Structure 1
Amino acid sequence: MSEFGLRIVALLPRLRGLARTLARSRDAADDLVQATCEKALRNSDGWTPGTRLDAWLFRIMRNHWIDTVRRGRPEVQVDDEAVAHELPVEDGVRRIEARLTLAAVRTLVDALPDDQRTVLMLVCVEDLSYRDAAEMLELPIGTVMSRLSRARAALVAAMDSDDRATRLGGEE
């Protein structure tokens, strides 16, 4: 396998993470990663050595996803409970708490508007800089910062709301 191919293989976990954010189902995410890798390998001359390969692949993935959504392909939702089984846990109580926390966070993130969710995942999960995320999304850097700020504020507000509801429910 070429060095370029090996670099793509090394990025597969990150590609899959972004794909799951965009597609919201395991099967659709796997298809998206595969399509991204195929396009990248076919068009390897489009990548400029010395630039961020991850950002280039993320842009390919995002553009392919947009094309897929525009074509109106049906999206199959798959229960993603398998992710919870991958969490390292020490006992049953911690395992249950981890599953509940993961489900709650996923629900909150999934409720964000697509533009905010995508920026949140690129900057906070994929660790792209604001500039790299802005270039990938073809947006001004201020727009990326604004969307990220709104996403974070919405998550904090939702978590505060959930905490208050839990405390009130527990006091009764």
Structure 2
Amino acid sequence: MDHSARTEQHQPHHEHHHEHRPAGRAPAATWSTAAQATLHCLTGCAVGEVLGMAVGTALGWGNLPTALLAIVLAFVFGYSLTLRGVLRAGVGLAAAVRVALAADTLSIAVMELIDNGVILVWPSAMDATLGEPLFWASLAASLAIAFAVTVPVNKWTIGRSRGHAVVHRYHH
């Protein structure tokens, strides 16, 4: 039996969401990888965005301070999710902050631009209260649209060993 036949025989028969690659190498720039990176980004952005919009709306703030709070919190939560994983991999705080900034800044910025842009142009969305379905529907739709626009951005950055690809250097 030749070496390749033995190797095929002993490979595990399960799927894993990460491609098998040498440690430190960036993931392949596939649509699946880009979607996973964008979902990671969307999680942090959505938490911050929803929290900011809900707090600003509940406090009766105007549109601008509410949107600014939502954007700031989206960046804070987005970066925090990445920081948590990189710190867990044993990277020091200063290096982990640099990784999070490199990995997530463009993705979060695009997501926030699209998300807030959709809400701004959606008739009456910025004036909706927490108890109105329009508040939640416009927020959910804006996040879905932001996801769809950001996936190609992340695919492009991953293909250039930038963006989310930077984080993969620390996955072992």
User: TM-score scaled by structure 2?
Assistant: 0.32
Say which one has the larger Rg: 2
TM-score scaled to structure 1, two decimals? 0.32
More helix by share: 1
- Where relative contact order (Cα < 8 A, 6+ residues apart) is larger, the structure is 2
